[in-house]
Amino acid sequence: MNIFVVNSGSSSIKYQLFRMPSETPLCSGLVERIGLDNAAITHQTGTGEEEKVVKRTLSLPDHEAGLLAVTQLLASPEVGMIQDPQEIDVVGHRVVHGGEAFAATAFITPAVKAEIKKLFSLAPLHNPSNYLGIEVAERIFTNARQIAVFDTAFHQTMPEKAFRYAIPNAFYTEQRIRAYGFHGTSHKYVSEQAAQYLQKPEAKLITIHLGNGCSMAAVANGRSIDTSMGFGPLAGLVMGTRSGDIDPSIIFHLINQLGYSPEQVSTLLNKQSGMLGLTGHSDMRDISQEMNEGSHEAALAYDMYAYRIKKYIGAYAAVLNGLDAIVFTAGVGENDATVRADVCQDMDFLGIQLDIEKNQERSKRPREINTPGSRVKILLIPTNEELEIAQQCITLLEDSRAASSSEN
């Protein structure tokens, strides 16, 4: 079964093509810097000596242009793995916000699409891109079942004391205003990998997903019990363009005293803040370069970024009443040794001790980067949201077939 997984981010598309049940993708790729003239596609097929990598720089005004370019590569004579888009059996889509309407993976129908669209305001950087990816995929892969995997689903195990806000009850019972959490597909995957690595299914873990969007989760016995993002993906850590946690009084001040409209405040906090607001850059590679060149603003931004993560580690260690490991993952978490070093500095009281040399090593495999004497393991585990999505698609199809068989 050919499963094509589409993971549309705010300015990127990650994708993998699986021929299940094999967990090794036939090809994978990344479209970066969508919306810019120097957008880039990196498309990889094969492994080892037979690996082929195609890199292209081109102008991609939107996600539709990006996905169309990817489709051409999938069926190209040079690196293609299919001859026709109709060979795709399933397209699995990452959808950021499922609200309380979706606590599990779902077949995409007009009703499901309508619900996803209703949630645009709660995930303004992602749900519109996810929705567009679905619509484009429906036009291109007309023979495929379209399936949505929701980032919010993994966090549905949070206890009510963690997901409720201290506002009048009617806002939850009538409007469903609560913390939902995000990056659930990634947190689920790396927490399972960490528990397997530790050979401890009941492990107490803090998973730290650091990309353009950033979040953390407290995971015990394989279940999310708290997470840093909330009603929307704006809360929690300092991110590429999002502010993370902010005093709500600032919002009132912006509106009442400085004349901002609610739409302007939303744009400010979601698209113009975070590392972009502090440094003028949202890409950590650019910020790191400026810091190395002596920029005070870049150095301060790195300090603020790491400081917020450390605060959440302390909070979640308390919530978990113990800690077996912290897990770094996603683009920044996997590749930025400076961030990991800053986060783990002066954490001896919690038993977190980083091995400087191991932290500098590069590897795609799950590994420890703590000292031998560290009470808490520091794990670097590459996330694989695409594989997790493919596996959830298979599970949904199998459950659907089993239900049909029992009815007959």
Give the domains, in start order, of the chain with CATH numbers. 2-150 (3.30.420.40), 199-385 (3.30.420.40)
Kindly tell me the sign of the dihedral angle through the C-alpha atoms of 305, 306, 311, 315: positive
Asked if residue 407 has pLDDT above 80, the reply is no
Catalytic residues: 151
pLDDT of res. 272:
97
Using pLDDT thresholds of 50, 70 and 90, give the confidence band for residue 408: low
| Structure confidence at residue 63 as a pLDDT band (50, 70, 90) | confident
Residue 122: both structure tokens together: 């709660």
Which of 119-123, 173-177, 302-306 shows the highest mean pLDDT?
302-306
Binding-site annotation: residue ranges for substrate: 94
Residues 301, 295 contacting (CB under 8 angstroms): no
Query: Are residues 215 and 209 in contact, defined by beta-carbon separation less than 8 angstroms?
Result: yes
What is the average pLDDT score of the chain? Answer: 93
Annotated binding site: 7, 14, 94, 209-213, 283-285, 331-335, 385
pTM: 0.86
* Separation CA 135–CA 8 (nearest Å): 12
- Burial class of residue 333 in the structure, from the number of CB atoms within 10 Å of its CB (0-12 exposed, 13-18 middle, 19+ buried): buried
Give the annotated binding-site residues for Mg(2+): 7, 385
Q: For residue 168, how many other CB atoms are within 10 A of its CB?
A: 10
Inform me whether the pLDDT recorded for 245 exceeds 90: yes
- Provide the H-helix boundaries in 214-350: 248-256, 262-271, 274-279, 284-292, 296-320, 330-335, 337-344
pLDDT tens digits, 274-332: 999 999 999 999 999 999 999 999 999 999 999 999 999 999 999 999 999 999 999 99
Q: Please tell me which residue, 194 or 129, carries the higher pLDDT value.
A: 194
Better pLDDT: 85 or 262 = 262
Comparison of pLDDT for 220 and 129, the residue scoring more: 220
Percent pLDDT > 90 in the chain is 77
pLDDT digits (tens, 9 = 90+) for 338-359: 999 999 999 999 999 999 999 9
